[in-house]
C-alpha cells in the first residue's frame, strides 16, 4: 500500500493542472532512441572519455531491440531518501536514450518473473517570435505523456501503453489522447513482431522518439511526412550489417479512425562498418517508402546518411512526396525537402548543434520554399531524463516575410 501511494503521489504531482494551451504532439515536434543501461557518474574522467566512444546514433530499428532491455533492474539503497534527494542523486551519463529519473521507484518486478514500469514525460517550450513590426511570446506543450511498459514473465512479450492527456484546443479528445498501445513478440532470433499502435518509421527523425530529438522541434520534412502513429502489424529485423522495419496497417492516424485505407511503411538501413563502433566510427545509409490510400493515393520516399565518431555526429535526410499522410496533415500535394544536421559534444553533458532545413510544400508552385537555419545548445542535466534546450531559428520564406525565434525548452522523464 505504501508503494502504491508513493506511485500515485508522484504521478499526481507531475500532472498537476496545466493552464497553458496545448500544441499537437504531431504538429509542433521535434535522431536518436534507445533504452537506459548501467548508470555512472559523469564527473568521472574515464567515464567522460568512454562516453565519446559510445555509439549515440542508434537507428530506430535497433531501438526496437533495446527499449525493454534493463526494465526491472534495481539498485541497492541503504537509506531512505526524499523525492527530491532521489532525483538529485540519480546518476545518468548516456544521452542517446530516454532515461527515467524514478526508474527503480516506479518499477515492480513480479515474483514469478516479468515486470511493469510506470512512467511520465513532459516537454514544454517558451518561444520568442520576431517578425517584421511584430513580437510575441508563446508557450507550447510539446508533449505530455504517461503510461506503462514491461515484460511478460518468460520475456516472450513486451508491452507498452500510454496516453496524452493534453490535446490541442479544438480537436477531439477521444481521437487524440492515445499514445502507444502495442504488444511485441520476442522469440524469433534477430526479429520482433509488434501488433498495435506505435510510431511509424517514415524517415529517421520522423520516426524516432520525441524524447531524444536534438532540437525542440523536428525538421520540416519530419514533422510533415513523419511524426505519426499508426495501427499496424510491424516486423523488425536487426543484423550486424543491416536492419529493417516493415509495417502494414491502417492509413488512419488516430486510434478511432478505423480503416479508411491500407498503409505500408518500409525502411532498410545498411551499416558498412558493422553495428559496433570502431576506429572508423559508425556509418548508416538508409532509405524507405510510405505508400497508402486515404481518400487518395499517397507515396513518400526518403533517403538517409548518418555518421557518428566519438564527439561528432552528423546526418543528411531528404524526402520527396506525391501526396503524404503525416502527423501534421493529410495532403495530395507534391512536396519535398531535406535537412542536414551537425552535432558536437563539448562535454558528455553539453552539446552544440546546427541544422539547415528546407521544405517545398508544393513542387508545382514556384517561389514557395521554406527554409529554417537553426543553432542550439543541449544541456543534459540528468541525461535525457532532465534536459534544457536553447535554440535559435532563422526562418526564410520565398513568399512571406522572414522571421526569427528563440526557443527555450525543458524535458523531464519520471
Helix, strand or coil for residue 296?
coil
- pLDDT tens track for 241-261: 999 999 999 999 998 888 999
Beta-ladder partners of 235: 193, 246
Q: What is the pLDDT of residue 98?
A: 86
Instruction: Say yes or no: domain 2-121+144-348 is CATH 2.40.160.
Output: yes
Q: What is the pLDDT of residue 79?
A: 55
Cα distance between residue 328 and residue 369, in whole Å? 18
Domain residue spans of the chain: 2-121+144-348
Cα distance between residue 10 and residue 152, in whole Å? 25
Residues of the chain with pLDDT under 70: 1-83, 85-86, 89, 275-278
Helix, strand or coil for residue 5?
helix
Question: pTM of the full predicted structure?
Answer: 0.80
Cα distance between residue 64 and residue 290, in whole Å? 19
The dihedral region occupied by 27, where left means phi > 0, alpha psi between -120 and 50, and beta the remainder, is: alpha
Residue 269 burial (C-beta neighbours within 10 Å; 0-12, 13-18, 19+): buried
Q: What is the pLDDT of residue 172?
A: 86
Q: Which DSSP symbol is given to 276?
A: S
Place of cell 532532465: 386
pLDDT > 90 fraction of the chain, expressed in percent and rounded = 64
Beta-ladder partners of 293: 297
Beta-ladder partners of 339: 317, 357
Place of cell 516493415: 246
Q: What is the pLDDT of residue 63?
A: 46
Q: Give the containing element (helix H, strand E) for 121.
A: strand 115-131
Q: What is the pLDDT of residue 95?
A: 81
Place of cell 506505435: 198
Cα distance between residue 145 and residue 122, in whole Å? 6
Q: Give the containing element (helix H, strand E) for 86.
A: helix 83-89
Q: What is the pLDDT of residue 189?
A: 93
- In sequence order, the 6+-apart residues with CB closer than 8 A to the CB of 398 are 367, 368, 369, 370
Residue 283 burial (C-beta neighbours within 10 Å; 0-12, 13-18, 19+): middle
First to last CA, the chain: 20
Cα distance between residue 251 and residue 54, in whole Å? 37
Amino acid at each position: 500500500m505504501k508503494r502504491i501511494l508513493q506511485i500515485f503521489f508522484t504521478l499526481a504531482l507531475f500532472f498537476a493542472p496545466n493552464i497553458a494551451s496545448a500544441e499537437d504532439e504531431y504538429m509542433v515536434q521535434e535522431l536518436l532512441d534507445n533504452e537506459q543501461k548501467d548508470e555512472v557518474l559523469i564527473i568521472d574522467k574515464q567515464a567522460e572519455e568512454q562516453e565519446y566512444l559510445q555509439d549515440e546514433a542508434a537507428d530506430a530499428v535497433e531501438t526496437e531491440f533495446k527499449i525493454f532491455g534493463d526494465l526491472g533492474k534495481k539498485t541497492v539503497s541503504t537509506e531512505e531518501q526524499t523525492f527530491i534527494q532521489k532525483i538529485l542523486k540519480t546518476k545518468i551519463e548516456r544521452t542517446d536514450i530516454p532515461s527515467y529519473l524514478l526508474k527503480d521507484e516506479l518499477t515492480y518486478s513480479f515474483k514469478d518473473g516479468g515486470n511493469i514500469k510506470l512512467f511520465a514525460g513532459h516537454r514544454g517550450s517558451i518561444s520568442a517570435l520576431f517578425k517584421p513590426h511584430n513580437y510575441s511570446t508563446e508557450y507550447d506543450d510539446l508533449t505530455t505523456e504517461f503510461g506503462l511498459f514491461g515484460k511478460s514473465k518468460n520475456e516472450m512479450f513486451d508491452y507498452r501503453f500510454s496516453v496524452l492527456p493534453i490535446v490541442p484546443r479544438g480537436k477531439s479528445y477521444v481521437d487524440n489522447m492515445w499514445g502507444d498501445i502495442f504488444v511485441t513478440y520476442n522469440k524469433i532470433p534477430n526479429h520482433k513482431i509488434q501488433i498495435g499502435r506505435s510510431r511509424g518509421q517514415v524517415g529517421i527523425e520522423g520516426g524516432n522518439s520525441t524524447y531524444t530529438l536534438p532540437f525542440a522541434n523536428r525538421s520540416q520534412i519530419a514533422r510533415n511526412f513523419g511524426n505519426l502513429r499508426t495501427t499496424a502489424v510491424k516486423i523488425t529485423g536487426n543484423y550486424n550489417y543491416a536492419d529493417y522495419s516493415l509495417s502494414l496497417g491502417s492509413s488512419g492516424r488516430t486510434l478511432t479512425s478505423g480503416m479508411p485505407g491500407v498503409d505500408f511503411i518500409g525502411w532498410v538501413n545498411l551499416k558498412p562498418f558493422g553495428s559496433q563502433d570502431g576506429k572508423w566510427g559508425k556509418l548508416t545509409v538508409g532509405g524507405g517508402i510510405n505508400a497508402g490510400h486515404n481518400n487518395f493515393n499517397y507515396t513518400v520516399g526518403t533517403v538517409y546518411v548518418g555518421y557518428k565518431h566519438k564527439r561528432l555526429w552528423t546526418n543528411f535526410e531528404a524526402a520527396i512526396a506525391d501526396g503524404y499522410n503525416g502527423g501534421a496533415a493529410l495532403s495530395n500535394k507534391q512536396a519535398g525537402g531535406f535537412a542536414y544536421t551537425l552535432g558536437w559534444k563539448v562535454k558528455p553533458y553539453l552539446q552544440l548543434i546546427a541544422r539547415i532545413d528546407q521544405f517545398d510544400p508544393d513542387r508545382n508552385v514556384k517561389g514557395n520554399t521554406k527554409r529554417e537555419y537553426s543553432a542550439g545548445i543541449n544541456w543534459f542535466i540528468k541525461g535525457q531524463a532532465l534536459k534544457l534546450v536553447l535554440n535559435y531559428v532563422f526562418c526564410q520564406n520565398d513568399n512571406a516575410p522572414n522571421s526569427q525565434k528563440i526557443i527555450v525548452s525543458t524535458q523531464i522523464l519520471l
